[in-house]
Amino acid sequence: MNREKEIGMDLIQSIIERAKANKQRIVLPEGTEERTLKAADRVLADEVAEIILIGNPSEISGMADRFGLKHISEAEIIDPLHHNKKEIYSDLLFNLRKEKGLTFENACKLIEDPLFLGCLMIKNGNADGEVAGARNTTGNVLRPAFQIIKTLPGISVVSGAFIMFLPDKTYGENGIMVFADCAVLPDPTAQELAHIAVATGKTTRDIAGFEPRIAMLSFSTKGSASHKMVDKVVEATRLAKELDPSLNIDGELQADAAIVPLIGQSKAPGSKIAGHANVLVFPSLETGNIAYKLVQRLAGAEAVGPVLQGIAAPVNDLSRGCSIDDIYKMVAITANQAIGNKTDKLKADLNFTTIS
């Protein structure tokens, strides 16, 4: 096994162990999808998370018998058409969306959609996170998340991060880096880019488990070029520092200045980030998406993600070509995000109590 695979497996195992130590309730709206059901059985067998399956109970039971899945009976199974919280969820959705023109009648219909139901369960405190997308499009997965769960306090956008496992462990954090945004927002404003940086710092802490050193990337380093695209990154860096003063962040930096110590020292002397970044925030989706795919293919890196970030509770979207193992890992990752959210809330509550 090559070195980046070993590093990747070490981190994934750490993520799984953190999930096991503080089990979260993860809802799987595609409960009658074969890979999802098999992944859920494995999650339950390994005690990684508590699982809530949405789907016809008879169909789920029949599939479990057919595939020899011995642990599905340990899951909570919710029939989207017949369950005892339909009225609660209908009222909740109606109140959330009535100003957008949603009628109560339509709310009653929408809650029968497993993707809407899953998000309502999270909003109502009956689940901690969601994983979907093995059967549904990204748009279908994210729409109810945007409408019901919405974004974290202080964050205006949802973005997607990839955890990159590099063959050369001299880069990043022992060969691990986090790239964002590589999946969601095509052309962020300076404010949106700042929010992406803050959200990526949280993702790094919650999932990768190390302290982020964030480089805000550009084609300029510290004024070496003048352009409105550079100005955006400079302003985003300033705003990100204001949003979260605890973050170690610097910009604008060219990619080589961000990750190569000698070049960083030459181009940005005095910067604590230049040459030592373990998180790269790209100025646009175009650059981020191209970069992670090039690093993946040309450098032989392993890319895990996208991990969606910025949502008030974790909702993660799978590729429709995903494997059982992909779903299993994403459940563990989602659990880690939920743990991180609860830890942040506890810290905020304690701080508020101390100040009061």
3-state secondary structure labels for all residues of 280-328:
EECCCHHHHHHHHHHHHHHCCCEEEEEEEECECCCEEECCCCCCHHHHH
Task: Using DSSP, state whether 129 is helix, strand or coil.
Answer: strand
pLDDT of residue 319: 87
Q: How confident is the model at residue 350 (pLDDT cuts 50, 70, 90)?
A: low
pLDDT digits (tens, 9 = 90+) for 5-62: 555 568 889 999 999 999 999 999 999 999 999 999 999 999 999 999 999 999 999 9
pLDDT of residue 10: 82
pLDDT of residue 173: 95
Cβ atoms within 10 Å of 1's Cβ, excluding its own:
7
Distance CA 60, CA 36 (A): 11
Distance CA 258, CA 127 (A): 39
Q: How confident is the model at residue 343 (pLDDT cuts 50, 70, 90)?
A: confident
pLDDT above 80 for 282: yes
End-to-end CA distance of the chain: 54
Cβ atoms within 10 Å of 228's Cβ, excluding its own:
6
Helix (H) or strand (E) holding 26: strand 25-28
pLDDT of residue 348: 67
Distance CA 140, CA 94 (A): 19
The burial class, CB within 10 Å (0-12 / 13-18 / 19+), for 103 is exposed
Mean pLDDT score of the chain = 93
Q: How confident is the model at residue 349 (pLDDT cuts 50, 70, 90)?
A: low
Q: How confident is the model at residue 135 (pLDDT cuts 50, 70, 90)?
A: very high
- 325 in Cβ contact with 38 (< 8 Å): no
pTM of the model: 0.87
Strands, E, within 103-240: which ranges?
Answer: 129-132, 159-165, 176-180, 213-217
pLDDT of residue 1: 43
> Is the Cα dihedral 238, 241, 242, 243 positive or negative?
positive
- Peptide bond connecting 306 to the previous residue in cis, omega within 30 degrees of 0: yes
Compute the average pLDDT of residues 87-111: 96
pLDDT digits (tens, 9 = 90+) for 157-174: 999 999 999 999 999 999
pLDDT of residue 4: 47
The b-or-e profile of 329-342 (16+ CB within 10 A means b, else e) is bbbbbbbbbbbbbe
| DSSP conformation letters of 325-349 | HHHHHHHHHHHHHHHHHHHHHHHHH
Measured in whole angstroms, how far is the alpha carbon of residue 170 from the centre of its chain? 26
